[in-house]
Amino acid sequence: MKRSLIILLLSPLLSSAQQTEPRFENDTLYTSGGYKIYKGQLLHLARGTSDAGYFRFVKFHPGLGRNDTYILENSTILVSKLRNFKNSGSDNYSIRVTGTVTYKDGKQAETDIFLDFEKAAASLAGQPGELTVPEGFRNRQLQTVAVETKKQTVANDTKKQDTPADIKKLLVADEIKKLFDLYKAGALTKEEYEAQKKKLLERQ
């Protein structure tokens, strides 16, 4: 009896200490921090964490032919569909989200994005994450990883801030890398990857 009581009292502590892996079940995404994303939910985006204001963990689907993610600042997205849940390793989880975006000026449009939800929800050096979630749903381990990633990115960007052309090359290179990651994860075909890569290179 006493043993059963001890186990019962310790159960909440043991369960809270366990690391929960992100998963996608019954059309609902569960993050490692316990936050849920589902059809009909309103996602709140803050500001892109790159120095230029671009979102690093929210990317437009290549089919839209655009990469100006800075326009998503302080916008909301009403989720209509979730699909293509992926784990490409090193805590790089992503999911494809389609829905209706309402920009900060009140205008609305249909959108299609890839959301690196674990990193988007993590704080960077004390600054809010790109995806606004309640404090209790943030993954502390990922916050540390995100801070280190931010430091490394800032250090790399500092080396190339001489001209707008250099900044543009950095942004294009980053977009190509993201496309390649999506291709390797199976979210894009080789033809789609090559076509979008060609479009990005032509913009330089």
Query: pLDDT tens for residues 25-63?
Result: 999 999 888 889 999 999 999 999 888 889 999 999 999
Is 0.75 surpassed by the pTM of this model? no
User: Looking at the 3D structure of the chain, how many domains does it have?
Assistant: 1
**In a domain? residue 30:** yes
Residue with tokens 């931010």: 150
Mean pLDDT for the stretch of residues 155-174: 61
Residue 28's pLDDT is what? 94
Residue 178 has pLDDT above 90, yes or no: no
Q: Give 195: exposed, middle or buried? Use CB within 10 Å, 0-12, 13-18, 19+.
A: middle
pLDDT tens, position by position, 8-22 = 444 443 344 345 788
**In a domain? residue 16:** no
**In a domain? residue 14:** no
**In a domain? residue 11:** no
Q: Provide the percentage of residues in the chain whose pLDDT is more than 90.
A: 37
Are 130 and 55 contacting, i.e. CB atoms less than 8 angstroms apart?
yes
Q: Domain limits at 113?
A: 21-202
**In a domain? residue 1:** no
**In a domain? residue 100:** yes
**In a domain? residue 9:** no
Residue 11's pLDDT is what? 43
Residue 171 has pLDDT above 60, yes or no: yes
Residue with tokens 């250099």: 166
What number of other Cβ atoms are within 10 A of residue 83's Cβ? 11
- Exposed e or buried b per residue across 28-47, where buried means at least 16 C-beta atoms within 10 angstroms of its C-beta: ebbbbbebebeeeeebebbb
d(CA 127, CA 147): 10
Which amino acid appears at position 62 of this protein? P
